């Protein structure tokens, strides 16, 4: 069975939020565009975002790194949100593996959000229904769009080209290839959900810098020089 999904390269994602902003604009934009739906300029802005970027700092100063983890519905092959739905509003499509919510049948009980181990469901306070990433199903099957535009909004807008989209079960697809070649992994593999979305791991890169290119008036000159020599 086909399984459409996203593959996100954590090595090139720069956490710019362009994917989240374009997702918001395409799917759930509020009155003022890509902002939170409620109290957008207040201390606690709220609203539905299908795609969120979490940023972490790792290590101990000064040897720290910043790590960005974009996260949306993972379109699990064994989606736990589907069987718990009392009305059948949450369902998984056989033809492409996309998990969707039928808003007409959703009663807003939030059981699906409690069953999702990834916290990817969003309750729309305005419509009183659960919402989530649809992989922009309205774009990917829209034959009025050029073929190269039939992709999720987040993929189209990523300036770092960190996102891939396609059928991860198709050996001829780009997503299948990058998962195999670059050791793609899933979140919480022991949760038994078999997510469709995969991530490509970060890799450490050593860059050789000629000392004559370093600026001597840089206040961090000595630190840069030390790290250059020790390879840190």
User: pLDDT band for position 215 (50/70/90)?
Assistant: confident
Q: In terms of pLDDT, which residue wins out, 89 or 213?
A: 89
Q: With contact defined as beta carbons under 8 Å apart, do 72 and 38 qualify?
A: no
Instruction: Inform me whether the pLDDT recorded for 221 exceeds 80.
Output: no
Tens digits of residue pLDDT in 3-52: 999 999 999 999 999 999 999 989 887 666 667 888 888 888 888 999 99
Q: In terms of pLDDT, which residue wins out, 214 or 173?
A: 173
Question: Quick one: pLDDT at residue 33?
Answer: 67
* Mean per-residue pLDDT of the chain: 90
The pairs formed by 226-232 with CB atoms below 8 angstroms and a separation of 24 or more are 231/206, 232/63
Question: Quick one: pLDDT at residue 186?
Answer: 97
In sequence order, what are the residues at sequence separation of 6 or more whose Cβ sits closer than 8 angstroms to the Cβ of residue 53?
A: 15, 17, 19, 20, 68, 69, 70, 71
Question: Quick one: pLDDT at residue 228?
Answer: 65
- Bridge-partner residues for 57, per DSSP? 66
Q: In terms of pLDDT, which residue wins out, 46 or 120?
A: 120
Q: How far apart are CA 183 and CA 188, in angstroms?
A: 15
Distances (CA, A) of 99 to 11, 105, 154, 167: 27, 15, 17, 14
Which of the given ranges, 34-38, 62-66, 78-82, has the highest pLDDT on average? 78-82
Q: How does strand 122-124 pair with strand 129-131?
A: antiparallel
- Mean pLDDT on 95-124: 96
Full-model pTM: 0.86
Tens digits of residue pLDDT in 170-181: 999 999 999 999
User: pLDDT band for position 229 (50/70/90)?
Assistant: low
**Which of 206, 210, 188 is closest to 197 using CA atoms?**
188
Q: What are phi and psi of 23, to 5 degrees?
A: -60, -45
Q: How far apart are CA 185 and CA 189, in angstroms?
A: 8
Percentage of the chain with pLDDT > 70?
A: 91
Instruction: Inform me whether the pLDDT recorded for 134 exceeds 80.
Output: yes
């Amino acid at each position: 069975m086909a399984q459409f999904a996203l593959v996100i390269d954590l090595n090139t994602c720069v956490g710019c939020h362009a994917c989240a902003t374009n997702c918001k604009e395409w799917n759930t934009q509020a009155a003022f565009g890509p902002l939170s739906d409620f109290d957008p300029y207040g201390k606690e802005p709220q609203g539905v975002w299908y795609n969120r970027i979490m940023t972490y700092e790792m290590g101990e100063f000064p040897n720290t790194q910043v790590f960005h983890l974009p996260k949306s519905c993972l379109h699990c092959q064994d989606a736990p949100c589907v069987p718990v739905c009392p009305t059948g509003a949450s369902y998984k499509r056989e033809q492409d593996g996309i998990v969707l919510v039928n808003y007409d049948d959703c009663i807003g009980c939030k059981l699906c959000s409690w069953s999702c181990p990834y916290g990817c469901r969003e309750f729309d306070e305005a419509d009183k229904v659960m919402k989530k990433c649809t992989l922009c199903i309205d774009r990917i099957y829209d034959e009025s769009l050029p073929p190269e535009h039939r992709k999720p909004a987040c993929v189209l807008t990523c300036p770092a080209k960190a996102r891939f989209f396609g059928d991860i079960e198709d050996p001829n697809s780009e997503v299948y290839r990058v998962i195999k070649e670059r050791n793609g992994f899933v979140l919480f593999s022991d949760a038994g959900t078999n997510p469709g979305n995969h991530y490509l791991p970060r890799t450490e890169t050593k860059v050789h810098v000629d000392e004559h290119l370093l600026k001597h008036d840089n206040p961090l000159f000595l630190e840069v020089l030390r790290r250059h020599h020790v390879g840190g």
